[in-house]
Amino acid sequence: MSQTITALYDDQAQAQTAMSKLVAAGFSQSSIRLTPGSSTTTTRSTGSYDHTRDEGGFWAGLKDLFMPEEDRYAYTEGLSRGGTLLTATVEDSRVPAAMDILEENGSVDLDEREATWRKEGWSGYSAASATDVSTSGTATSGMASTGTGAAAGVSSARGMGETDYIPVVEERLNVGKRMVDSGRVRVRSYAVEEAVSENVTLHDETVQVDRRVVDRAVAPGDEALFADKVIEATETREQAVVSKDARVVGEVGIRKDATQRTETISDTVRRTEVEVEDGRGTVSRTDTSGTTTGTTPRKPV
């Protein structure tokens, strides 16, 4: 889905710079439009932009932009005072980025500017002025008569045989979807050291020299006792030997579970209704579905 955003600039060079920055940021140049204002800047002390004369064609130039009527009045006033209007159609997800670029390059704060204009005497948007604009093309010029005195018909300001139309408009609610971050889970592993102890039984062998007193006669075969003789014994002792081996004793993982949920989006939309009252007192109203209801006032007794 896409949206159309607008920004007003006092200087056309600022608007050109903003457009260049949008294109450099990846926005399509074909979706960006500049509407230059009046070459002569004027300051009005009373009243507002004359929409019936459509000076410079600004009012007509903004008819294809679906915007609130009061915004259209304000932008038209800014164009008539020499401003430049930039409009861009961008994807919903990129609207904040585009708005940042427009503001960074000197776009006008429309609320503050309207307040300044009103102090100068600008009347701005009102229901009465909107009615004047809607009916300015359908005012009648009176009854024409034939030579026989019969009424020939009503001639409109647009000329005989031409038809004026008032558009019947309705807003429709379009609900899209986008992915946003709602939280993050991170699993990290790291090494720690802790002291451990184990008991082990060790075996030691020691050599003891035993001496004993003997008193016996040397036997005939014992002459070899006078020869040198050596006996030896080795002491031994066990010593603990430490080694380590790594074992996987558990696992920690991350997985995503997808669920569906239904959310009700509530908002307000606008629509226009057309009320037609003819000279006989019959009033009919038509809504955007084309349904017409009519009432005829009761005649006084």
Give the model confidence (pLDDT) of 181-214 as tens digits.
888 888 888 889 989 888 989 999 998 988 888 8
Rounded percentage of the chain residues whose pLDDT exceeds 90 = 7
244 alpha-carbon distance from chain centroid:
56
DSSP helix/strand/coil, 4: strand
pLDDT for residue 23: 92
Ranges 4-8, 49-53, 65-69, 119-123, most confident: 4-8
**Which residues lie across from 213 on neighbouring strands?**
none
What is this structure's pTM? 0.40
pLDDT for residue 138: 33
pLDDT tens profile 218-265: 777 666 777 788 888 899 999 989 888 889 989 988 888 888 888 898
Helix (H) or strand (E) holding 175: none
What mean pLDDT is reported for the chain? Answer: 74
Distances (CA, A) of 116 to 72, 81, 113, 120, 160: 17, 13, 5, 7, 44
pLDDT class of 152 with cuts at 50, 70, 90: very low
**DSSP code of residue 147:** T
Helical pair 69-80 and 110-119, crossing angle rounded to 10 deg: 70
Q: Does residue 102 or residue 54 have the better pLDDT?
A: 102
pLDDT for residue 294: 52
The residue ranges of DSSP E strands in the chain, in sequence order, are: 2-9, 32-36, 84-91, 140-145, 151-156, 204-205, 236-237, 274-277, 283-286, 292-295
pLDDT for residue 206: 92
The CA distance from 261 to 142, in Å, is 63
> Is residue 82 within 8 Å of residue 41, measured between CB atoms?
yes
